[in-house]
A = this chain, B = another copy of it.
Amino acid sequence: MTRLYDDPASFSEDMVEGFVAANPGYVRQVPGGVVRAERARRGKVAVVTGGGSGHYPAFCGVVGPGFADGAVVGNIFTSPSAADALSVARAADRGAGVVFSFGNYAGDNMNFGLAVERLEREGVRAHNVVVTDDVASAPDAERSKRRGVVGDFVVFKVASAAAEEGYSFDEVVRVAEHANDRTRSLGVAFDGCTLPGQDHPLFEVPDGRMGLGLGIHGEPGVSERELPSAAELARILVDGLLQEAPQSGGTVTAILNGLGGTKYEELFVVWRTAAKLLAEAGVEVVAPEVGELVTSLDMAGCSLTLTWLDDELERLWQAPADSPAYRKGNVAISPADPEEAADEVPEPVQQPVVVAPAPGQATAERVRQALHAVGALLEGAEDELGRLDAIAGDGDHGRGMTRGSAAAVTAADESAGQGVGPAAVLVAAGDAWAAKAGGTSGVLWGAALRSFGDLLPEDREVAAGDLVAGAAAALAAVQRLGRAEVGDKTLVDAFVPFVEELRSGVDGGAGGAQAWDRAAKAATSAAERTAELRPRTGRARPLAERSVGTPDPGATSLAMVLTEVGEVLGQ
């Protein structure tokens, strides 16, 4: 919903004022809208777009060299008056006439129609190019009754580029009408938008449903159906447009447009499939746009627009433009390296495989077994760790630990099979863990395994002191990367007492397995005591306070792993 405004009655005026203040190099305000800050050369046909506001970047966002000469700005979703259109046209005219282009809506037809009559009475050539791209709003036989939606953007761009190239008035009108004739759009909506100062949306779509063919202000659509996957939606849009295509195959440009509340990432996921489907249908796509070009405030929904191009339309679509919200082409920046093709990226250096002596291979095998035990343990504990993490975090700790340890097991199997020592096995396992687990726990566990492994000997059996040195190195790596201290409610709270207890046990003469076992018990107690703590913030949610009373999932999983490793050591 629209939350930020001062006076709802002057929302559009306030918006234009802020827009001009942000873009003084591009536009200046005139009664009824905006025109270019620097007037175009005398004798150029002026192209003026416009309509109700609420559709930014359409329409005032595309005023500038290579694009529109002016934009008439109405109130939200409301046609500007004929006087507004007249005012902007007079300011934009350079002596060669004014071509208005806008989407087919009753109010705009009337007001721009009146403006054309008045301009002609004043001796200024003027003509309206009315865009009719929305295939859902009328059958093909009644194309002139179709609404204008995102096809506006293509028609404006083509007409503007033609005028910039020096086309005559009649030729600008011809190519703009030709572009409209070759353009089709189909849209869907998932939810309506709420106007400034209103407390209910213009229309609503039930949760989990989708309106097919809805207009950009919530006009009636073709049907309502269950919300599809991104791939299914891509098929609905592509199939719907190809049925209405002016030809089979061919070259198109495409706009996959978000209405405001459906975001870039979602649009790219849809485009992934749409691009494949168009290629499969033998349609070549040139210079597509995926983003927000014609919005409806924060309405949730999107649409696909295809324009079948010939050489002229392709040249005009690709021509340079420089406006507040749309820039294209010819930016002069230091050139790419001409001597190197794009695909010549060097391969990463492969570490050579160094076969270890027998004691090292034996240690590596113990490490591999321990990793297998840890992997099985964490798989079984995934749900429990997830529940702990959901109290204060996003609940993915269990899944991250399971994915990380499973990847480590696979990497350790492969690595140990090559006859390497424990360091190489743990480096491979740690890298795999970090790569697959993601997030902070992945990188900490990856670094811990690497650092621990670096201190295990290859030429003799592992002694108790090696375990102390390895554990201390792993803790140091975790603290260096994570910058956590004891008391911050992280795995460090269990790790520090573990290393202290392990060291004091070994210093006191205990065997490695025995000392490890006692240290793991200390870690378990310490992990339980983290329930009393409040986490330090970072990426934590405001829910963090809730975690008081629950032990830290990272400390808990560390204590569980250390206990499990202790059992392997004791075997």
Contact = CB atoms under 8 A, between A and B. Distances in A.
A413 interface: no
Contacts of A83: 431, 434-435
Interface residues of A, number: 149
Contacts of A508: none
B231 A6 contact: yes
A15 B106 contact: no
A207 to B, nearest CB: 9
A17 B106 CA distance: 41
A446 B114 CA distance: 10
A541 B221 CA distance: 10
A97 B84 CA distance: 56
B320 A333 contact: yes
A291 B333 contact: no
A512 interface: no
Nearest to A344: B39
Contact of A322 (B12, B214, B331, B444): B331
A96 interface: no
A336 B295 CA distance: 30
Interface in A288-302: 288-292, 295, 297-298, 300, 302
Contacts of A444: 110
Contacts of A65: 331, 333-334, 336
A320 B2 CA distance: 34
Q: Report how many copies the assembly holds.
A: 2
Interface stretch (A86-94, A176-184, A354-362): A86-94
Interface in A210-265: 214-215, 217-221, 227, 229-231, 233, 256, 260-265
Nearest to A288: B22
Contact of A440 (B30, B79, B336, B394): B79
Interface of A: 2-6, 11-12, 14-19, 21-22, 28, 30, 35-42, 44, 53-54, 56-57, 61, 65-66, 74-84, 86-87, 90-91, 94, 105-107, 109-111, 113-114, 122, 164, 190, 195, 202-203, 214-215, 217-221, 227, 229-231, 233, 256, 260-273, 275, 288-292, 295, 297-298, 300, 302, 320-322, 325, 327-337, 339-340, 342, 344-346, 348-349, 394, 431, 434-440, 442-444, 446-447, 481-483, 537-544
